[in-house]
Structure 1
């Protein structure tokens, strides 16, 4: 497997605080890679740097051999990168279908005002709507396509956000704490769903997650950070018993 995402010597500072200090790791094509570490380790900052939401002070981020630092956050969907957020980034006043349609407007140039006239842009809109509905069906939530997001169960909303993230068939999907707020049963279902996404849709996954049982069961490779630096990395079986990881989470006395 070749490296799809390469993070090299990444440094991010906020004023006098160094959030990332020379962090490096790779995500290979077809992998499920987890980025873990205690609170304040720099995981979200690394995600935000990859997503182009924060500007690094040093280092490089390359996707499919091309530097991401030359691109804006709005370019990522066209490059083949999608992301979900820890706090659901859905519009509660829009229908489920319309929320997924938002993810498709990077592909088209649809003006909703043209719909009554049946102009070509509207016909394009109908095609995009069919794609959005198919994505919802793939994640088993097509039955709520025309309901508002407000009031839907949290687990359902997680699936809606996944549908929106993969509707453009990205090559790399960034998942920010996807298991957060889910029941044990929903966490198991999520693991099955993400394996299916990886295998059937050929999507490489990079996730930030605190749910260690979920991480160790799902991931092919794990990168652990602590205080903004690389701590340990390897296959789940290799790092599970690493004393450095236990110390980072539990303290030296443990």
Structure 2
């Protein structure tokens, strides 16, 4: 079977930057499409796009609004591109569902490294971070939620799909495989094998915050995913059943 050619959507209102990123990514074997505004992005949602690079400093459109729109309709990974000093936008972008960020001015080798890393995180479970052992059930039920490991979907108690980023899905999968255990950030990073972590990486905390927004009635007072002060995090559903 031929290897899958990843399709990347580059979103920027600067034609020179789009052209630069296209040449860089195509030289590494990626298929690249371009968009410069929200209608251009929406035209690609629902297609075979595997990853979006999104400049938050678009001239005519708020990049954060585009990120929200994408995350409401799709789990496609997003790498934000931000100005060097735009820390607030960076934090808000991670909170609305971006998977990673790159600060300008950027080096093309960093772009490629982050693209590869995010695509590895988003890989299907049989090739990625939460590989299932033979005979492992493909669904886990906890507190009226249903986590489908094959389809990478989470159904809420109301019977509707809850949208998760690829990173948040892998994190939840890891927690349901280790319920009622206190896990430190280092242990969590070790369990999420196949992912690249920088020293003092805080993205675990960002993923925890995003995951709580999806599974908790009140993310400020978490019931399922609790913080254990000085120790880490613990997943504490009342009921959990694989099948």
TM-score (norm 2): 0.28
Of structures 1 and 2, the one scoring higher in RCO (CA 8 A, sep 6+) is 1
Relative to total residues, which structure has the larger helix share, 1 or 2?
Answer: 1
TM-score (norm 1): 0.27
